[in-house]
Structure 1
Amino acid sequence: MSAPFLVSACLAGIPCRYDGGAKPDPAIVRAVAEGRAFPACAEVAGGLPTPRPPAEIRGGGGA
C-alpha cells in the first residue's frame, strides 16, 4: 500500500474556493473516500476566509 498524499480540498469536493464553491474531480473524491488521500486547503490554513475576493496578478508576470 502506498503512503497517503495531500490533495487540494476544493478538488475533493469541499467548498473552500474563493467563491465558496468546489471543483470536485471524481478520481480525487474517490481517493479521499478510500482514505488514500487527505484534503487540505492552503488558503484556508493560512487564515483566508471563504468566500473571499479573488486574488489576481495585475500589471506583472507574477515573478
Structure 2
Amino acid sequence: MKKHNCEECAMRAKYDRAPKSLIGRFWRWHINFCPGWKGYMKSLDERKKDELRLKYELVSK
C-alpha cells in the first residue's frame, strides 16, 4: 500500500491552526485537485473519509 504524507502535511497543519491564513486557504484550494490527496482519501476507510469530509467541508464523491 502506498504511503501518503497527507497526515503530516505542514500546509494541512497550518490550515488546522489558522484556516483563514494565506497558507491555510491555499491548502484548502489545493486539495480540490491534488492527486496525492485524492489517493489518500481513497486509501481511508469510510468512517475516516466521512470525518475528513465534515472537518474540511468536502463534497462527497
TM-score for the superposition, normalised by structure 1: 0.26
More strand by share: 1
Bigger-Rg structure (1/2): 1
Q: Say which structure, 1 or 2, has more relative contact order (CA 8 Å, 6+ apart).
A: 1
More helix by share: 2
